[in-house]
C-alpha cells in the first residue's frame, strides 16, 4: 500500500508542478501584453528584435521551405502514382505547405534559432546582474527586454511563413518540372487554381501565434534562468524544447478551429 501511495504522490507532485508552471507562464504572458498600452516604448529595442528574429531568420526558413517543397512533391508523386493521381501534386504541395508544413517548420526553425538566443542573452544579463541594474535605473525589464521581442516575434514570423510558402511552392515547382516532367504552365495553373486565400491566411495566423510563443518562452526562461553557466544552459534548452512542444500543440488546436468543419 505504501508503494502505491508513494507512486500516486509522485504523480501528484508532477501534476501540481506542471500546473504551477502553466500558471507562471500565463501570468508572465499577461504581464507582457499589459505593457502594450503603457508608455514608454523602446523603439530601438523593437527594431533590433525585428532584425534579429525576422531578417536574420530568413535564410534558414527559406532553405527549409525550399527542400521541404521539393521532398513533398516527390513523396506526393510517388503516392499518387499508385492511384493514377499524379496530377494532384501541385495542389497538394501548395495546400500542405501553406496550411501546415510552412508555418510549423518555420516556427520550429525560428524556435531553434531565436528562443535559444533570447534565453541565452537574457539569462546572461541576469547572471551578470544587468537586469538588476535596469531596475535600479527605473527601467522595467519586462517592458525593455520582453515586450519588444514578443511583439517582434508575433509580427515577423507570419511574414517569414509567407515568404517560406512562396519558396516552398517554388521548390515543388522546380522538382515537378525538372524531375517529374510536369509542364511548367500546367503546374502553376493547378497551383493557383486550387489554392485559396484562407489557406495562406490561416498559415500566417499560425505563424503569428508561433512567433509569440517562441519569443515569450525565450524571455520567460531567460528571466528565470539559474545562476552560472549551467543555469543559462538549462534555460536555453528549456526554452527551445518548450517552444517546440507548444508550437506542435497549438498547431493542432488552431487546425481544429480553422478546418474542423
Give the span between the Cα atoms of 46 and 182, in whole angstroms. 45
pLDDT of residue 173: 93
Give the span between the Cα atoms of 123 and 203, in whole angstroms. 32
Pick from 36, 41, 55, 31: which is nearest to 223 by CA?
31
pLDDT of residue 73: 92
pLDDT of residue 261: 61
Give the span between the Cα atoms of 163 and 114, in whole angstroms. 18
Non-local CB neighbours of 208 within 8 Å, separated by 6+ positions? 154, 155, 157, 158
Is the link from the previous residue into 40 a cis peptide, with omega within 30 of 0? yes
User: What is the distance of C-alpha 74 from the center of its chain?
Assistant: 26
Give the span between the Cα atoms of 256 and 251, in whole angstroms. 8
Residues of the chain with pLDDT under 70: 1, 261
pLDDT of residue 1: 53
Its pTM stands at: 0.91
pLDDT of residue 136: 86
For cell 517569414, what's the residue?
160
User: What is the distance of C-alpha 68 from the center of its chain?
Assistant: 17
Pick from 221, 254, 258, 249: which is nearest to 108 by CA?
249
pLDDT of residue 83: 79
Helix axes 147-178, 102-110, angle to 10 degrees: 130
Amino acid at each position: 500500500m505504501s508503494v502505491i501511495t508513494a507512486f500516486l504522490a509522485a504523480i501528484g507532485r508532477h501534476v501540481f508542478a506542471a500546473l504551477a508552471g502553466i500558471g507562471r507562464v500565463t501570468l508572465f504572458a499577461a504581464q507582457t501584453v499589459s505593457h502594450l498600452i503603457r508608455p514608454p516604448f523602446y523603439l530601438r529595442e523593437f527594431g533590433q528584435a525585428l532584425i534579429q528574429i525576422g531578417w536574420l531568420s530568413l535564410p534558414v526558413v527559406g532553405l527549409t521551405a525550399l527542400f521541404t517543397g521539393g521532398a513533398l512533391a516527390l513523396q506526393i508523386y510517388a503516392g499518387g502514382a499508385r492511384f493514377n493521381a499524379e496530377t494532384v501534386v501541385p495542389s497538394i504541395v501548395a495546400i500542405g505547405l501553406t496550411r501546415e508544413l510552412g508555418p510549423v517548420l518555420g516556427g520550429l526553425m525560428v524556435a531553434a534559432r531565436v528562443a535559444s538566443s533570447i534565453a541565452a542573452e537574457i539569462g546572461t544579463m541576469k547572471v551578470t546582474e544587468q537586469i538588476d541594474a535596469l531596475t535600479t535605473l527605473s527601467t522595467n525589464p519586462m517592458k525593455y527586454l520582453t515586450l519588444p521581442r514578443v511583439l517582434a516575434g508575433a509580427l515577423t514570423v507570419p511574414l517569414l511563413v509567407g515568404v517560406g510558402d512562396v519558396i516552398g511552392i517554388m521548390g515543388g515547382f522546380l522538382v515537378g518540372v525538372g524531375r517529374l516532367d510536369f509542364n511548367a504552365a500546367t503546374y502553376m495553373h493547378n497551383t493557383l487554381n486550387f489554392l485559396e486565400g484562407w489557406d495562406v491566411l490561416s498559415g500566417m495566423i499560425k505563424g503569428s501565434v508561433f512567433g509569440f510563443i517562441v519569443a515569450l518562452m525565450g524571455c520567460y526562461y531567460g528571466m528565470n534562468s539559474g545562476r552560472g553557466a549551467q543555469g543559462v544552459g538549462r534555460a536555453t534548452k528549456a526554452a527551445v524544447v518548450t517552444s517546440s512542444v507548444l508550437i506542435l500543440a497549438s498547431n493542432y488546436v488552431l487546425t481544429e478551429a480553422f478546418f474542423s468543419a
